[in-house]
A = this chain, B = another copy of it.
Amino acid sequence: MKIGELAKRSGLTAHTIRYYERIGLLPYADRDRSSRRDYDASILVWIEFLGRLKTTGMPIRDMLLYAELRERGSGSEAERRALLERHRESVRAHVDELNACLLVLDTKIGGYAETEQRMKDYDATLPERRRKPVGARSPRTG
């Protein structure tokens, strides 16, 4: 598989694939006789996993550490596991934080909903000709 094909399949751009190789996130790819990169489909599994690490907010320098342990092969399993366990904890903590923020967001949005309801109720008390044309005021919810 050439880099363009890998780009399509992985969702990365060819530029990014080369960049990842340059910094060591992807192993140095075999080249054909005209020095084009030629990939085995198995690289997709690794790229997908990198994507998970990225999605969960792992900085590249840590992915790099993991990638290096992986390149080193056997003997690095305990370290790799420890790295992933630490990361898992930080992701869990972040999820908890996000859920807490979601509650705040719900409350805030709920406040706007009330404001809008009060606006409608108020409008309904006005004689037909005096109703608000577009926006209205009401207790500042922030």
Binding site for B on A (CB under 8 A): 45-46, 49, 52, 55-56, 70, 73-78, 80-81, 84-85, 87-88, 91-92, 94-95, 97-99, 101-102, 104-106, 108-109, 112-113, 115-116, 119, 134-138, 140-142
Count the copies.
2
User: What residue in chain B is nearest A74 (Cβ atoms)?
Assistant: B137
Residues of B within 8 A of A137 (CB): 73-75
Do A55 and B98 form a contact, CB below 8 Å, given A70-B142, A74-B135?
yes
Quote the shortest CB–CB distance from A25 to chain B (angstroms): 14
CB distance from A139 to the nearest CB of B (A): 9
Q: How far is the CB of A131 from chain B (nearest CB, A)?
A: 15
